[in-house]
Structure 1
Amino acid sequence: MSVVSNKLAASPTLKPHKSADMFSKLVKLSPRFLLALLILPVIGGLISVLLPAFGYAPVLEHTTLGLHGFTMLMQTPGLTHMVMLSVGTGLISTLLAFIITLMILAAFFNSPWLNRIQRLLSPILVIPHAAAAIAVGFLIAPSGMISRLVSPWFSGWELAPNGMFPHDSFGISIILGLALKELPFLLLMALGVLAQPELGKKLRQQHKVALNLGYCPMTAFFKVILPSLYPLLRLPILAVLAYASASVEMPLILGPNTPPTLAVAIMHWFNDVDLNLRIKASAGALLQLVLTGGLLALWLGGEKTIKALFSDLLTNGEREYGGVYWQKITTVLTVFVIGFILLSLIGLIMWSVAGSWRFPAALPDQLTLLHFKSALMQMQSPLYNTLAIGLVTTLFAIIITLLCLESEQLSAKPMSRFTSLIIYLPLLVPSIAFLFGLVWLQQLVNNQAAFFNVVFTHLLFVLPYVFLSLASSYRRLDPRFANVAASLGATPCKVFLQVKLPQLFAPILIAAALGLAISFGQYLPTLLAGGGRIATITTEAVTLANGASRRTSAVYAIMQMALPLIGFILAWVLPKYFFKSAHR
């Protein structure tokens, strides 16, 4: 604090300047701008989908309201299967990821193994959904790593079998991919809640008391920790459920094609050369919105049902529910999940450098970097677009977030529950529903600004994650530093730039790395807002995954993983170098 005091005392005290007033006004207006930025595109997009769905699309010379779009939709062959596939894969994958998360937390609570599992699963967060789907597909394919490891010594297969995975009609491949991808997210959200100083200390003390009273560890977790933990996990779980029910990348790579999930079918209709199919796509987007809303309502209703049916179990005094056996099952399940993920990544890397690799050989006959060389020559433009869009989007997201959090501190008022909920709005509303309407609006306003349109749509998905990443660190800042600086005559702008931001250097870099990772992985917003004119690493990877060489697909998937990984490595290394240089 003395360093800050001396530095600010050395600078002359100035009267309030116009720039200071501008900064204060900017900070004051930033929360309203944040709400407008998140609400208007989503609501405008939904309205712009609603009108064409009911036949009003002047661009296509449809000006009479009616149910033509829904009639076309209901006549679609296999629509019922599309709906069931979307609902089933979304609900089951979310439920599976949630249950495994709870089992891991219960089995390893207050154990050093929980931190080790967290370190092993954390890198999965930076892997885009498309890359994860490609890796899982390579593992479970008839000639994938699993078949190779059991052949021919166990299975007797000398040739690749006719397997049902991936692209199975039941969506099991989609469920597997989504559950494995969302499990680390839910686990880290739960650990983040438990990392809160006061709440975490309180829950750990209550857990120890339960253990001293004779409760087995897993029973103690479910009876003592879960009732306090779950309400704070509700929004992340609902966001996962909303995404899973309307996901495009995973079903496009792992799911069936005849028919696909509803979200994939809607995307195909919207991109069809027959523009009249956009009426059908709009009706389908509304149906997807209803399905996702129904799933969210079903989940919330399930909460109340479970609470009513099992609330007595919390107070019945029962100490043991076969906890020893459940702990062993959880340990085996955890090892399986981690092993499955690691094997998927190993298989992906091996395919990217494989020369000749005939089935059932477990290893390639030769290794080569030829696939990387040829792919790198072709991906210069997608790589540039990926980096440019990600950097611009993340920079805007960080600036808006910092201004909003500064406004919260200057006004001394915590963020309202309404604003906290709106931050999740683009994550809770299925993107397939409002993006089509947003693209309609963008094409009406300026069809040529493809880069700006893509940046704007990416911002809707990057901003919530950046805000949630930075909020806790900003709110934990010691206010005494800012108070001392203000008492020495520093303007709010100067305090913000010279006192607060240096303390937030490491959290800002982490938020930037997270924002870049989210932007790099966006497929549907890039495809729709760019009108197919802007190619990124993700759009190319998804395209190649459905027909190109397995080796080329592996290279693009690795590039998808490498870009966000580099960002997180820089976010980890730069603060150490920065603070080391500052102490010299």
Structure 2
Amino acid sequence: MNFIAKQMDILHHKADWFTHIVKLSPRFLLALLIIPVLGGLIAVILPAFGWAPALNQYTIGLEGFRALWQTPGLSTMMLLSVATGLVSTLLAFVMTLLILAAFFNTAWLDYIQRILSPILVIPHAAAAIAIGFIIAPSGMLSRLISPWLSGWELSPAGIFPHDPWGISIILGLTLKELPFLLLMALGILAQPEFGKKLREQHKVALNLGYYPMTAFFKVILPNLYPLLRLPILAVLAYASASVEMPLILGPNTPPTLAVAIMHWFNDVDLTLRIKASAGALLQLILTGCILVLWLAGETAIKYSFRDKLTNGKRAYNSAFWQKTTYILTILVISFILLALIGLIMWSVAGFWRFPSVIPEQFVLSHFQSASVQMVNPLFNTLTIGIISTIFSILLTLLCLESEQLNSKPISNFTSLIIYLPLLVPSIAFLFGLVWLQQLANNSSAYISVVFSHVLFVLPYVFLSLAASYRRLDRRFSHVAASLGAKPFKVFLQIKLPQLFAPILIATALGLAISFGQYLPTLLVGGGRIATITTEAVTLANGASRRTSAVYAIIQMALPLIGFILAWLLPKLFYKSAHR
């Protein structure tokens, strides 16, 4: 019966326009991701060596690199980029493992997931503003201990944020990437067969006398880590070349390399763009070295601890690490909640003298004044986000449908390419795209910004939808095809209704990613397209705390509304369907 259904399905696919589009979609996906990234990299390499037709420079040379090496504080910029990226990723990864190990197979892990999940949708700029408010000399932490513990009656002199060692950047990146890695790990463990197998092995280890955390590291981690490697490398690549966090929390003299490159590129002196291109190439090399260093460290740890996996030891001071993880988890959650509370209080604060913990009066005038100025940025944010997300959803669905038509998953090469925009420093290939845009005299900034957002939205949308699409019961499609339904009708009326909830979640995630894009909007748009994120970053470096807090809250509210709708609409849909 299955064989007959498959043969009928094949006959219906022949000479069908929808089938042709579906079969071409993976190639289009590869072209969409490879051409801009690699083309952007090539277009940034050539100007780095002096060939820049947009500036009427056609002589190949090393002037850009000479100017780069002569930049004061270049070594400090490089060290800041490497240290903040590597340390923040390592801290986020270690904390993720500790939380998983301490709470594995317990109800507490679900509670932690529910608390940290909303943090995932907060844009990096909004998170940086919130963290800056809490660690500033007159921030919430200082107010909570003053004057009863610190003795401070006036705001103290402090180095946070903008400390020269990048501690503020590390703190911000760690707290922002921890929920991402934790939820990625939980998503892997949620796979029915794989998760069930690991949980059963964990129970066997417990029955053999292993402590819970020891059982996790000996049984679960060796199977989990290979599937978590790509997300970790994506986090590492982003952290080493991020702009929003260092721009808001990092030092200014000198800044991280990525921030310095952005300043050079946006300088009124256009010749600095040659230097910026050389810097972007240096950033690419630095990020590549960090990724290689991580992989080398991974191999070294694997061989160093290989014997410990099979030595039969049941505990490694497990009680101490269990209690330490409990305390660490409480501190992390408390810090995040305090940062959000402080952000909300600053947005409605009237007169608020130090060291008062709460404002003396609450007002809404900051929202009222900001609402007049944010009409255009809000419209741009929503429009760009909706267009880029819808396009990404459609392309993802077509590519996943092609898997079912070909009865095999996409290749490992394609799976890696999907991560390409996340693994390559955006500051490198985006500069190349800007050079190409200027070379082609492309003046359509809006379309260019939408396209640049697609490069970052598409990978997350694909990863969000892939598991749900692949779990669809294909027998429904075979029955519909045997009754004469064409592939497009099967796709539209059989498959999409079953994917209603996952599509909404992927849409909310895509919108959240687009809403938080700062560098693509700024560079590709040439500063002509204002969004809530670009305005929030600008205000964070000079405007009042109250105005910055308002923009940061709007930044957080937009993706949060999307996820709330994605959670409510399926319930309302299924409720009305069963009436």
Deviation at 1:21, TM superposition (A): 1.8
Deviation at 1:89, TM superposition (A): 0.1
Deviation at 1:19, TM superposition (A): 12
In the alignment, which residue of structure 2 is the partner of 1:255? 250
CA contact (8 A) 2:42 2:432 kept: yes
How far apart, in 2, do the equivalents of 1:309 and 1:583 lie? 58
- Find the partner of 2:533 among 509, 534, 538: 538
In the alignment, which residue of structure 2 is the partner of 1:80? 75
How far apart, in 1, do the equivalents of 2:194 and 2:20 lie? 35
In the alignment, which residue of structure 1 is the partner of 2:3? none
How far apart, in 1, do the equivalents of 2:439 and 2:367 lie? 40
Deviation at 1:577, TM superposition (A): 1.0
CA contact (8 A) 1:20 1:491 kept: no
1:269-290 per-position Cα deviation (integer Å, ceiling 9, x unaligned): 0001111000000000000000
1:12-34 per-position Cα deviation (integer Å, ceiling 9, x unaligned): x9xx9999722111001000000
Matched, 1:395 2:390: yes
Aligned letter for 2:519? L
Deviation at 1:454, TM superposition (A): 0.2
In the alignment, which residue of structure 1 is the partner of 2:5? none
Task: Give 1:347-362 correspondences, 5 Å limit.
Answer: 347-362=342-357
**1:487/1:60 CA distance change after superposition, 3 Å:** same
1:315-359 per-position Cα deviation (integer Å, ceiling 9, x unaligned): 111111110110000000000000000000000000000000000
- Find the partner of 1:554 among 543, 549, 552: 549
CA contact (8 A) 2:124 2:244 kept: yes
- Find the partner of 2:489 among 494, 500, 511: 494
SS in structure 1 at match of 2:305: helix
- Find the partner of 1:301 among 285, 296, 299: 296
- Find the partner of 2:200 among 193, 197, 205: 205
Aligned letter for 1:228? N
- Find the partner of 1:517 among 512, 517, 535: 512
In the alignment, which residue of structure 2 is the partner of 1:169? 164
CA contact (8 A) 2:508 2:562 kept: yes
Task: Give 1:218-297 correspondences, 5 Å limit.
Answer: 218-297=213-292
In the alignment, which residue of structure 2 is the partner of 1:507? 502
- Find the partner of 1:59 among 54, 66, 69: 54
In the alignment, which residue of structure 2 is the partner of 1:580? 575
**1:392/1:19 CA distance change after superposition, 3 Å:** farther
Matched, 1:136 2:131: yes
How far apart, in 2, do the equivalents of 1:207 and 1:30 lie? 41
CA contact (8 A) 2:135 2:141 kept: yes
In the alignment, which residue of structure 2 is the partner of 1:9? none
**1:19/1:444 CA distance change after superposition, 3 Å:** farther
In the alignment, which residue of structure 2 is the partner of 1:34? 29
CA contact (8 A) 2:84 2:166 kept: yes
Matched, 1:334 2:353: no
CA contact (8 A) 1:20 1:493 kept: no
SS in structure 2 at match of 1:163: coil
In the alignment, which residue of structure 2 is the partner of 1:464? 459
1:199-256 per-position Cα deviation (integer Å, ceiling 9, x unaligned): 1111111111111111111110001110000000000000000000000000000000
Aligned letter for 1:141? A
How far apart, in 1, do the equivalents of 2:310 and 2:489 lie? 55
Task: Give 1:396-475 correspondences, 5 Å limit.
Answer: 396-475=391-470
CA contact (8 A) 2:54 2:438 kept: no
Matched, 1:185 2:180: yes
1:425-464 per-position Cα deviation (integer Å, ceiling 9, x unaligned): 0000000110000111122224321110000000000000
How far apart, in 2, do the equivalents of 1:17 and 1:175 lie? 56
In the alignment, which residue of structure 1 is the partner of 2:190? 195
- Find the partner of 2:315 among 320, 323, 334: 320
How far apart, in 1, do the equivalents of 2:465 and 2:302 lie? 33
How far apart, in 2, do the equivalents of 1:26 and 1:326 lie? 54
**1:491/1:326 CA distance change after superposition, 3 Å:** same
SS in structure 1 at match of 2:380: helix
How far apart, in 1, do the equivalents of 2:545 and 2:421 lie? 34
1:538-568 per-position Cα deviation (integer Å, ceiling 9, x unaligned): 0000000000010000000000000000000
How far apart, in 2, do the equivalents of 1:398 and 1:41 lie? 19
Give TM-score scaled by structure 2 length: 0.97
How far apart, in 1, do the equivalents of 2:14 and 2:547 lie? 53
Matched, 1:566 2:561: yes
Task: Give 1:4-43 correspondences, 5 Å limit.
Answer: 21-43=16-38
CA contact (8 A) 1:20 1:492 kept: no
Report the aligned-residue RMSD.
Answer: 1.3
SS in structure 1 at match of 2:264: helix
CA contact (8 A) 1:249 1:542 kept: yes
Matched, 1:97 2:92: yes
How far apart, in 2, do the equivalents of 1:463 and 1:311 lie? 38
How far apart, in 1, do the equivalents of 2:200 and 2:535 lie? 51
In structure 2, list runs of 5 or more residues that go unmatched.
Answer: 1-7
Aligned letter for 2:552? A
Give TM-score scaled by structure 1 length: 0.97
In the alignment, which residue of structure 2 is the partner of 1:346? 341
SS in structure 2 at match of 1:288: helix
Task: Give 1:349-388 correspondences, 5 Å limit.
Answer: 349-388=344-383
How far apart, in 2, do the equivalents of 1:310 and 1:514 lie? 37
**Alignment size in residue pairs:** 571
Aligned letter for 1:144? G
Matched, 1:106 2:98: no
Which has the higher mean CA deviation after the structures are superposed, 439-448 or 365-374?
A: 439-448
In the alignment, which residue of structure 2 is the partner of 1:3? none
**1:317/1:67 CA distance change after superposition, 3 Å:** same
Aligned letter for 2:318? G
Aligned letter for 2:141? I
SS in structure 1 at match of 2:280: helix
SS in structure 2 at match of 1:414: coil
CA contact (8 A) 1:505 1:575 kept: yes
How far apart, in 1, do the equivalents of 2:370 and 2:194 lie? 49
Runs of 4+ deviating beyond 2 Å: 16-20, 443-447
